[in-house]
Amino acid sequence: MIRQKIVAGNWKMNGSKESIQTLISGLLDMDGSNSEVVIAPSFPYLSQVHDLIDGSNLVMAAQNASQEEKGAFTGEVSVSMLADFGVKYILLGHSERRSLYGETDEVVASKVKTVLGFGLIPMLCIGETLEERESGKTLEVCERQIQAVIDVVGVESFAKMTIAYEPVWAIGTGLSASADQAQEVHQSIRAFLAKSSESVSEKVQILYGGSVKASTSSALFKMPDVDGALVGGASLDAKEFIAIVKTAG
């Protein structure tokens, strides 16, 4: 099955009105691409980004959302609010959310359910720490993180989701997984899903994330089970991000 590639930029907690204006005008210079190009600004800038990308092929993601629909949850942002601003994807379970803000597999699964309920697309982030990789637990961890979501929303829901495999040891370290390492895990994730649904496993787009740069992305994108990238640091530089998008074809 041909799966469209997605190249998504996670801006994390970076940017200002001015720097975002500059970054987006750089991105709008991009030639047409066969890939879907996604950017994920911090919440306060969604409105600005929404207006700036209007009429372009750029698509907006949010970096997180509440599992609650509405109500007395001070400081939280609901999925319906994000939908109001034209957000298509929501990153869920990013390793920084899991490790710094205590998001458990169960919380992430509950967020996935809420996001699907509003018709938005979860970008489910999974991945192992260095210690887990070194003790041979990479697949066990990825499968546990996926199973927790299957337990809540069912495997068929993965046809309406994307997965980002992001080894924690590769995020923000400059140390990307090799294309072969990424392929090995992506293929195993697909095989794990195939045990429950062959068609879902063929359809779901699995992105790689972790220190992706233009110099490493073309090898990654040549891998049959790598359907794009979730890019952190390099997505803050329009030229570098465009160069990554170009390698996706």
Name which position in 149, 230, 238, 245 contacts ligand PEP (CB under 6 A).
230
166 is catalytic: yes
Closest to ligand PEP by CB, 82 vs 231, is 231
Closest to ligand PEP by CB, 123 vs 153, is 123
Residue of 36, 103, 132, 166 marked catalytic: 166
Residue number of the CB closest to ligand PEP reads 232
94 is catalytic: yes
Closest to ligand PEP by CB, 132 vs 166, is 166
Residue of 94, 103, 132, 186 marked catalytic: 94
- Tell me, residue by residue from 154 to 183, as one string, x for binding to ligand PEP by CB under 6 A and - for no binding: ------------x----xx-----------
Regarding 15 and contact with ligand PEP (CB under 6 A), the answer is no
- Quote the least distance from Cβ 196 to ligand PEP, whole Å: 27
Measured CA to CA in angstroms, residue 237 lies from 157, 158, 240, 243, 246 at distances of 34, 31, 5, 10, 14
Tell which residue, 75, 70, 46, has the closest CA to residue 58: 46
Name which position in 212, 226, 238, 248 contacts ligand PEP (CB under 6 A).
212
Catalytic residues: 94, 166
Q: List residues near ligand PEP by CB under 6 A.
A: 10, 12, 166, 171-172, 209-212, 230-234
